Amino acid sequence: MPPGLDDNSIVRKAKMKDGSETTRSSTGRRPLASNRRLVLLFFSQSLGMMARAAYFVALPLFVLERTGSAFSMGISLFLGYAPFTLAGPFAGSVVDRFSRRDLIVATNLLYGAALLVLPFMHAQYLIYITAFTASVFGVVLANAIAALIPELVDVVHLAKANSVYAFLRSANYLVSMFATYFLIGAMGKANIFYLCSILLLPSGLICLALKRDPSRAARTPDNEEGSKDGGGGLREAVRIIRSDRHVRALTLMHLMFMPIFGAFEVMLPVFCAHRLGNADYYPLVSAGVGAGLALGSLLTYRLLGRFRPLDLVFVSFLGYSAGVFVLSRNGLLASAVAVSFAMGMVDAFGFTTYEYLKQRLVPAAYRGRVFAIMDAVVLLPLPLGYVLMGYFAERASIATLGVWLGAIALALAILSFPLTRGLPFLGDAQNGGRNRGKPEERA
């Protein structure tokens, strides 16, 4: 049971960092399952998750088939993530200014429209433009969902809500990997995008059943002012990132390690083609990552109450670096899936913690902008991994690339270790409903 609550508690008011109040309920054995708005959001976005997962699996194979170039594949992946850096801060202002529910509806529909036209693209630059455009909508969608979840649950259940959402995302990713493997054989790589568009339609429309901006009425005048003030809001968002030790360390750690994630995304389909003998095994190996993410997401919820959050991120980096090296030495499909499963599991430690700390520590009025700026900064070096791996994948063996990538990942993980020191346990950071001093004062 979370600190500060007892069996006789029914409803309490908890003071948030941004000055707003949230209602806590300790009744019922399944508080999240009884939250109709949260269940509706998770159900609707599960359809979108499947569509986006299938799209991201099919895109590199689609580009590789039409261009025959690993470098072009890396460029398409780079352009797919570039909007998170280029458009992120602007998307954050949009998320803080407009209805987050309406943005989720609109961006799902626009995302689907972009994927609908992708099969008609044959010129490389048109594929690049379409991938970039779809990702612009994806940036707004991701930030709108992340900012809306804390408004639908109380602070006591936020960690569990994030773990459930991460599990759903990973489980849908897993299902999509297996489904995409068979659908590619039955439909072809290009036709997968039509199916993705169809799934994104109900993913957006179902959200119309959500109450529009359920927590906006509870915000204080100061928070409303903050959400409308574009320039001042962005400055305050930057100040929050710089001043909060958890947020600052979390951003720097992922900033350092992000090129490894990018390089691995390009390496995986090339690994399947060269080491396993068939690039179409890529969805199956990716499914191993998805299964590990699903299990790791649920496990992270338990671990967050026992370990310092950034210690989990550090362990995630160490495990990932080891996984890259071991995977590159494999030549069997079954063992490759097993290693990918382990990598997905440790990756979930870092990913779920990253999402939870963002939502837990950032005031409600600035979530859109802070999330967007953090993601923009963190993803800034991601293209470096795409481009460099795409370049060297055509010039070196997978075994050689795996050794170098694993060694670099290990070095970056070790360099990030000092950032985890001097920070409080999660229970101290939350104060357990009691005022025991700020984390910065206790560290």
Beta bridge partners of 25: 11
Q: Which residue has the higher pLDDT, 376 or 276?
A: 276
Per the CB < 8 A criterion, the answer to whether 62 and 55 are in contact is no
- What structural domains and CATH numbers belong to the chain? 34-233+243-420 (1.20.1250.20)
Half-sphere exposure of 291 (CA within 13 A, CB side): 14
Give the whole-number percent of the chain exceeding pLDDT 90.
Answer: 11
pLDDT of the residue at 224: 47
* Confidence band of 338 (pLDDT split at 50, 70, 90): very high
Each residue's pLDDT tens digit, 25-45 = 443 445 677 888 888 999 999
Residues 90-100, mean pLDDT to the nearest whole number: 81
Sign of CA dihedral 177, 314, 396, 400: negative
The Cα–Cα gap between 320 and 258 comes to 12
* Confidence band of 434 (pLDDT split at 50, 70, 90): very low
Residues 148-154, mean pLDDT to the nearest whole number: 83
Residues 213-242, mean pLDDT to the nearest whole number: 55
Residues 205-214, mean pLDDT to the nearest whole number: 80
When the pLDDT of each residue in the chain is averaged and rounded to a whole number, the result is 77
pLDDT beyond 80 at 330: yes
Taking only Cα atoms into account, the Rg of the chain, rounded to an integer number of angstroms, comes to: 21
The Cα–Cα gap between 14 and 344 comes to 35
* Confidence band of 198 (pLDDT split at 50, 70, 90): very high
pLDDT beyond 60 at 314: yes
The highest-confidence range among 16-20, 171-175, 331-335, by mean pLDDT, is: 331-335
Beta bridge partners of 22: 14
Q: Which residue has the higher pLDDT, 337 or 241?
A: 337
- Tokens linked to 268: 């995986």
pLDDT beyond 50 at 8: no
pLDDT beyond 60 at 431: no
Give the whole-number percent of the chain exceeding pLDDT 70.
Answer: 82
Q: Please state the length of the chain.
A: 443
pLDDT of the residue at 89: 67
Least confident of 234-238, 319-323, 347-351: 234-238
CB neighbourhood size of 132 (10 A): 19
pLDDT beyond 70 at 383: yes
pLDDT of the residue at 110: 94
Residues 107-115, mean pLDDT to the nearest whole number: 93
The Cα–Cα gap between 6 and 1 comes to 8
**Residue 165 CB burial class (10 angstroms; 0-12, 13-18, ≥19):** buried
Q: Which residue has the higher pLDDT, 250 or 430?
A: 250
Least confident of 3-17, 290-304, 377-391: 3-17
* Confidence band of 234 (pLDDT split at 50, 70, 90): low
The Cα–Cα gap between 356 and 30 comes to 20
Least confident of 21-35, 149-163, 166-180, 353-367: 21-35
pLDDT of the residue at 103: 92
Beta bridge partners of 15: 21
DSSP collapsed to 3 states, the chain: CCCCCCCCCCEEEEECCCCCEEEEECCCCCCCCCCHHHHHHHHHHHHHHHHHHHHHHHHHHHHHHHHCCHHHHHHHHHHHHHHHHHCHHHHHHHHHHCCHHHHHHHHHHHHHHHHHHHHHCCCHHHHHHHHHHHHHHHHHHHHHHHHHHHHHCCHHHHHHHHHHHHHHHHHHHHHHHHHHHHHHHHHCCCCHHHHHHHHHHHHHHHHHHCCCCCCHHHCCHHHHHHHHCHHHHHHHHHHHHHHCHHHHHHHHHHHHHHHHHHHHHHHHHHHHHHCCCCHHHHHHHHHHHHHHHHHHHHHHHHHCCCCCHHHHHHHHHHHHHHHHHHHHCCCCHHHHHHHHHHHHHHHHHHHHHHHHHHHHHCCHHHHHHHHHHHHHHHCCCHHHHHHHHHHHCCCCCHHHHHHHHHHHHHHHHHHHHHHHCCCCCHHHHHHHHCCCCCHHHHC
pLDDT of the residue at 214: 46
pLDDT of the residue at 363: 76
